[in-house]
Amino acid sequence: MKYKRILLKLSGEALAGDKGSGIDTPRLMQYSEEIKKVVEAGVQVAIVIGGGNIFRGAQGEASGIDRVQGDYMGMLATVINGMAIQSALEKMGLFTRLMSGIKMEQVCEPFIRRRAVRHLEKGRVVIFGAGIGNPYFTTDSTASLRAIEIEADVVLKGTRVDGVYTADPEKDATATRYSTISFEDVYSMGLNVMDMTAFTLCKENGLPIIVFDMNKPGNLYKLASGEEVGTLITMR
């Protein structure tokens, strides 16, 4: 396999499948099957998942909820999703650890970098929930930061599109996909990959990002084994 240790970033909406909200069991099991294949191939896997299928901080603010309060509510939603993925993976025989940026000992371990790395070295799938434990930071930022902390080889951003395009492919039929693009070009062209904090963290630490279609069976395994799938964002 090309990568020894990966950080897989999934959106909460992806877990909702076609339902639009909540957790879609077939989609959850599909993702778990994909993750199991790479773990069994010897890849160390860490996961960060959003909470948008349950609650978004921005959604709360629009409803009159205080921004900080709304962000904490969103963090709790990521823990719920993390528990769902943990349960699905364990049903498939994998060993997992759910680690949280907010202390909730009855549900998950607090995030401790050395402990997270040790879990990965032992072949456990590590799921990072509750963001970084602070408001005003997205789960994209969490993915970038945790990937750097655990010294992951790459951030794999699983989406419903198969890479980074010149424009939104769902709105512009003439949009073309990049196979490889530099951090500088993504920034100069204003392409929407991650929020700027997350993107800058990866750029400054030389951590490559691959944006790919997680819904297509086999894509995660192909990426881990070094096949060209999606769009690779790297230094020049």
Q: Which 3-state string (H, E, C) describes the chain?
A: CCCCEEEEEECHHHHHHHHCCCCCHHHHHHHHHHHHHHHHCCCEEEEEECCCCCCCHHHHHHCCCCHHHHHHHHHHHHHHHHHHHHHHHHHCCCCEEEEECCCCCCCCEECCHHHHHHHHHCCCEEEEECCCCCCCCCHHHHHHHHHHHCCCCEEEEEECCCCCECCCCCCCCCCCECCEEEHHHHHHCCCCCCCHHHHHHHHHCCCCEEEEECCCCCHHHHHHCCCCCCEEEECC
Neighbours of 148 (CB within 10 A): 17
CATH class of 5-234: alpha beta
CA distance 94 to 90: 5
Residues in the chain: 236
pLDDT of residue 90: 98
pLDDT tens digits for the chain (236 residues)?
899 999 999 999 989 988 888 999 999 999 999 999 999 999 999 999 999 999 976 677 778 899 999 999 999 999 999 999 999 999 999 999 999 999 999 999 999 999 999 999 999 999 999 999 999 999 999 999 999 999 999 999 999 889 999 988 878 888 999 999 999 999 999 898 899 999 999 999 999 999 999 999 999 999 999 999 999 999 87
pLDDT of residue 131: 96
pLDDT of residue 19: 82
pLDDT of residue 62: 76
CA distances, 21 to each of 11, 98, 137, 174 (Å)? 12, 22, 22, 30
Both tokens assigned to 205 = 């630490």
pLDDT of residue 179: 95
Both tokens assigned to 81 = 């999703």
pLDDT of residue 115: 98
The alpha carbon of 192 is separated from its chain's Cα centroid by a whole number of angstroms, namely 16
pLDDT of residue 114: 98
pLDDT of residue 63: 80
pLDDT of residue 129: 97
Q: Which residues pair with 233 in a beta bridge?
A: 181, 209
**Phi, psi values for residue 110, rounded to 5°:** -70, 150
User: Closest Cα partner for 125 from 34, 39, 3?
Assistant: 39
